[in-house]
Amino acid sequence: MAMFLLYAPILASFLCSLYFFHRRRSCIHPLLRDYFILGMLPPLLFNLWRIHDFITDVLKKNGGTGEFKGPWFTKMNYFLTCDSLNVQHMLSKRFDNYIKGPAFREIFEPFGDGVVTADSETWKYFRTVLHSLIRQRRFEVFVDQTVQKKVHTSLLPILDHAEQEGRVVDLQDIFNRFTFDNMCSTIVGHDPQCLSLDFPEVAIERAFNESEESIFYRHIVPRSVWRFQKWLQIGQEKKMTEACRTFDEFIYSRIASKREEMSKCSREEMEEAPFDLVSALMMTEERGRVHDDKFLRDAAFNFFVAGRETMTSALTWLFWLIGNDPLVEGKIVEEIKEKFRNEKEVIGMEEVKKLVYLHGALCEALRLFPPVPIERKQAVKADTLPSGHRVNGNTMIMFSLYAMGRCEEIWGKDCMEFKPERWISERGEIVYAPPYKFIAFNAGPRICLGKDLAFLQMKMVAAAILRSYRFKVVEGHVATPSHSIVLLMNNGLKATITKRQLL
């Protein structure tokens, strides 16, 4: 016992020396103060309520790039950057060296083996199939008709009802319900009618939201913790399991229903039927490649999340921004008034291509508030980034899209301003920005296939609303990002509505 007491301080001192030696070697460019065994996690948790602004501030103070170390003995070690040249290097020039990886697929478990999480040949096949479907004129026409129908039969009547009753509305909830119904119709040919006057709670819609919150949770706690919770089926992991069960039951039931419908149809009848995604994928089976239900489920889920979240997030932040900038709102309305003098004129996909200023406003909303604020990659082999930083093989890398939209080096000293004019040339045309700078739709080989289609749909919705209504954000409403992998508002977007007279 005496010997133990004699050598215990020496042993403790030796272990501490080893620890600090390890931290100095493994953390060459630290972003934050290292809190002994807890690493850099304490300040991150303390600033969780403003996590994206906190990461932006930290990156700016460290030249845009550095390392984050989690608690000792955990795998929460990341290399963070908002340097556009680093991003271009990883997403384009050295694309094959930066993959999603098995850790990504484990965290994003609900996505299965879809286009968002897959690597290599699986990803290439998924992308090729989806690309061929999205590019078809028949699919674009179907989406155009689906959006127009939802706008005129659900969205505008609900806004009319709210205006007549003088009710405060939650625009984010309305956009969320609209895009959920729209994507369900587009992907599985079924409208769950979430956007109804009684605002029903739909289990499948709630399941998608809870799964996204659980994925965010997996990013901020040690892997051992959430895996233990998953094993015990407690806390956020229990919600994840229940959410997966709910949306799997929904998607698989729609797939089974589609297969039954198509088994009773002739080839000619199938060609005339609505061109939703699952039906289209099943029709490709007729041409030689059989897609099992798991493939269809993963394709539907990935396409669903990608399409739904972009629209909900972008429209919510757009209306927040214009609600706080009457000058920009006035210019958008003036453009709508000039291009569509007849109030009964249909605003479809072809028509909204004329709305250049609205396009610029949407680009600004996506720049300042990208729907997916953080992207994650894993290095296959050691590499040196354009910034001069060295990354080792298997290094987990995160780049902050949110911080990139606030970088003076990319957007100039007015980067914090909501300025649609930055996207419009002197000739009144839309200005092109390289994807590795305007990163909301990703860049390189993984750039979003539905980018153009998403812009057209968002412009249709925004134009239809702003043409008829004025919105005023409720006084004192604070817009804070929710704890999710998607950049939504924590408490929604509360606003009052009044009718607008364009003519």
Specify which of 174-178, 285-289, 482-486 reaches the highest per-range mean pLDDT.
174-178
User: Residue 11: inside a domain, yes or no?
Assistant: no
pLDDT of residue 219 exceeding 50, the answer is yes
Q: pLDDT digit string (tens) for 105-125?
A: 888 888 888 888 888 888 888
- The answer to whether 430 and 424 have CB atoms below 8 angstroms apart is yes
User: Residue 6: inside a domain, yes or no?
Assistant: no
Q: pLDDT digit string (tens) for 119-160?
A: 888 888 888 888 888 888 888 888 999 999 999 999 999 999
Q: pLDDT digit string (tens) for 196-216?
A: 888 888 888 888 888 888 888
Which has more confidence, 28 or 216?
216
- The answer to whether 58 and 68 have CB atoms below 8 angstroms apart is no
Cα(187)–Cα(204) distance, integer angstroms? 14
Cα(198)–Cα(179) distance, integer angstroms? 17
Q: pLDDT digit string (tens) for 251-264?
A: 999 999 888 887 77
User: Residue 307: inside a domain, yes or no?
Assistant: yes
Tokens 């090729």 -> residue: 128
Closest among 237, 391, 367 to 314, alpha carbons compared: 367
pLDDT of residue 317 exceeding 90, the answer is yes
Which residue positions form the known binding site for heme? Answer: 448
Cα(198)–Cα(451) distance, integer angstroms? 32
Q: Burial code of 377-407, b = ≥16 C-beta within 10 A, e = fewer?
A: bbbbeebebeeebebeeebbbbbbbbbbbbb
Cα(62)–Cα(10) distance, integer angstroms? 36
- The answer to whether 371 and 441 have CB atoms below 8 angstroms apart is no
How do 98-99 and 469-473 pair as beta strands? unpaired
The domain total for the chain is 1
Q: Burial code of 458-491, b = ≥16 C-beta within 10 A, e = fewer?
A: bbbbbbbbbbbbbbebeeeeebebbbbbbbbbee
CB count within 10 Å of CB 262 equals: 17
Asked which of 37-51, 83-97, 233-247, 360-374 is least confident by mean pLDDT, the reply is: 37-51
Q: How confident is the model at residue 36 (pLDDT cuts 50, 70, 90)?
A: low
Q: What is the pLDDT of residue 32?
A: 60
pLDDT of residue 444 exceeding 80, the answer is yes
User: Residue 111: inside a domain, yes or no?
Assistant: yes
Q: What is the pLDDT of residue 33?
A: 63
Cα(183)–Cα(189) distance, integer angstroms? 9
Cα(197)–Cα(261) distance, integer angstroms? 31
pLDDT of residue 2 exceeding 80, the answer is no
pLDDT of residue 31 exceeding 70, the answer is no
Neighbouring C-alpha atoms within 13 Å toward the C-beta of 231: 6
Asked which of 29-38, 45-54, 227-236, 279-288 is least confident by mean pLDDT, the reply is: 29-38
Neighbouring C-alpha atoms within 13 Å toward the C-beta of 57: 9
User: Residue 19: inside a domain, yes or no?
Assistant: no
Cα(474)–Cα(362) distance, integer angstroms? 22
Parent domain of 414: 24-499
Query: What is the average pLDDT across 332-343?
Result: 87
Closest among 460, 364, 452 to 414, alpha carbons compared: 364
Cα(53)–Cα(31) distance, integer angstroms? 14
> Length of the chain, please?
503
User: Residue 213: inside a domain, yes or no?
Assistant: yes
User: Residue 10: inside a domain, yes or no?
Assistant: no
Q: pLDDT digit string (tens) for 290-311?
A: 678 898 899 888 888 888 878 9
Give the rounded percent of residues in the chain with a pLDDT score beyond 90: 47
Which residue positions form the known binding site? Answer: 448
For residue 500 the two structure tokens come to 């607008």
Helix H or strand E encompassing 274: none
* DSSP per position, 191-229: ----SSTT----HHHHHHHHHHHHHHHHHHS-HHHHHHH
Cα(31)–Cα(28) distance, integer angstroms? 10
Helix H or strand E encompassing 424: none
| Interior angle at CA 308, CA 428 and CA 98, nearest 5 | 85
Q: What is the pLDDT of residue 274?
A: 67
Q: pLDDT digit string (tens) for 370-429?
A: 999 999 999 999 999 999 999 999 899 999 999 999 999 999 999 999 999 999 999 999
Integer-rounded Cα radius of gyration of the chain: 24
Q: Which amino acid is at 222?
A: P
Global pTM? 0.88
CATH, residue 487: 1.10.630.10
- The answer to whether 68 and 77 have CB atoms below 8 angstroms apart is yes
- The answer to whether 58 and 403 have CB atoms below 8 angstroms apart is no
User: Residue 2: inside a domain, yes or no?
Assistant: no
Cα(395)–Cα(78) distance, integer angstroms? 7
| Interior angle at CA 272, CA 269 and CA 278, nearest 5 | 90
Q: pLDDT digit string (tens) for 37-76?
A: 777 677 777 888 888 998 999 899 889 998 888 777 667 7
Mean pLDDT (the chain) is: 85
